[in-house]
Amino acid sequence: MVANSNSNIPIALTIAGSDSGGGAGIQADLRTFAFHCVHGTSALTCVTAQNTLGVNRVDALSPEAVVAQIEAVATDIGISAVKTGMLLNSEIIAAVAQTIEKLENLQVVVDPVMVSRSGVQLIDDEAVETLRETLIPQATIVTPNRYEAQILSGLEIRDLEEMRSAARCIHHLGAGTVLVKGGGMSGNIRGVDLWYDGQNDETLKTETVDTPHTHGTGCTLSAAIAANLALGCELREAVGRAKQYLTQALKHSLAIGQGQGPVGHFFPLLDEFRQP
């Protein structure tokens, strides 16, 4: 039998950390790519010992090891979209920025992972400056959460108007489009995101899902944006679709562990494979 091989499959790359608990990081990204029928490639930056209660330990890879992974993929398999997640330190960020700058026709989704929603700092202080100066200017879109947007803009964010002001400040750093995520907001703007592309701003809302199990929402959203870009969507459509996917995954989140469980990436298959 001749294999029905497919050479036209869209390909995306995630440059991120490993989450041993499987809810965020590389694990969430590759699962999200797979559920979009996008072939996922990866460059690991660090290994976290993490579960639903928090991060116990982080071990970094060398910048050279990170670059070698990106180059191995780019020079052979090819990629049309990349997302960056937890880059951990200044050296890794600078190396990633230098490497992806050389790649042509690449759409770049920067999730500036600095602080998890549970308040854990995931990147050191010097790294914030390097992110601001080297990687954000290359971003097709940058997707800070409330706390990351506060750090990047220097502004406090308590409402939609302040999300709007922060998005404008971050746009000045050189990103093409800024999406300030509202998962960390409260009341009727919890889960409302603010899009600013340098000309227009827009609030993006699906529905607020009432669940404590939100681990990995940011990783999943940025990976889904990259997947949709790899599939050929325009940026605004890619973000809209990604938000729909994320909302469904949140509605099917997993109440596992003793803390904040992860979103349920495989909701499209749940009914098919659920045990009786």
Ligand X SMILES: Cc1ncc(COP(=O)(O)O)c(N)n1
* 132 interacts with ligand X by CB under 6 A: no
The three-state (H, E, C) secondary structure of the chain, written as one string: CCCCCCCCCCEEEEEEEEECCCCCHHHHHHHHHHCCCCEEEEEEEEEEEEECCEEEEEEECCHHHHHHHHHHHHHHCCCCEEEECCCCCHHHHHHHHHHHHCCCCCEEEECCCCECCCCCECCCHHHHHHHHHHHHHHCCEECCCHHHHHHHHCCCCCCHHHHHHHHHHHHCCCCCEEEECCCCCCHHHCCCEEEECCCCEEEECCCCCCCCCCECHHHHHHHHHHHHHHCCCCHHHHHHHHHHHHHHHHHCCCCCCCCCCECCCCHHHHHHHCCC
* 181 among known catalytic residues: yes
* 21 interacts with ligand ATP by CB under 6 A: no
* 217 among known catalytic residues: yes
Rounded to a whole number of angstroms, the minimum distance from the CB of residue 255 to ligand X is: 15
Question: Binding mask 40-59 vs ligand X (x if CB under 6 A, - otherwise)?
Answer: --------x-x---------
Looking at the Cβ atoms of 165 and 224, the one nearer to ligand X is: 224
Given candidates 38, 96, 108, 246, which one binds ligand ATP under the rule CB under 6 A?
A: 246
Site residues (vs ligand ATP, CB under 6 A): 24, 116-117, 145, 181-184, 190-191, 193, 208-209, 214-219, 221, 243, 246-247, 250
Site residues (vs ligand X, CB under 6 A): 16-19, 24-25, 48, 50, 85-86, 113, 116-117, 215-216, 218-219
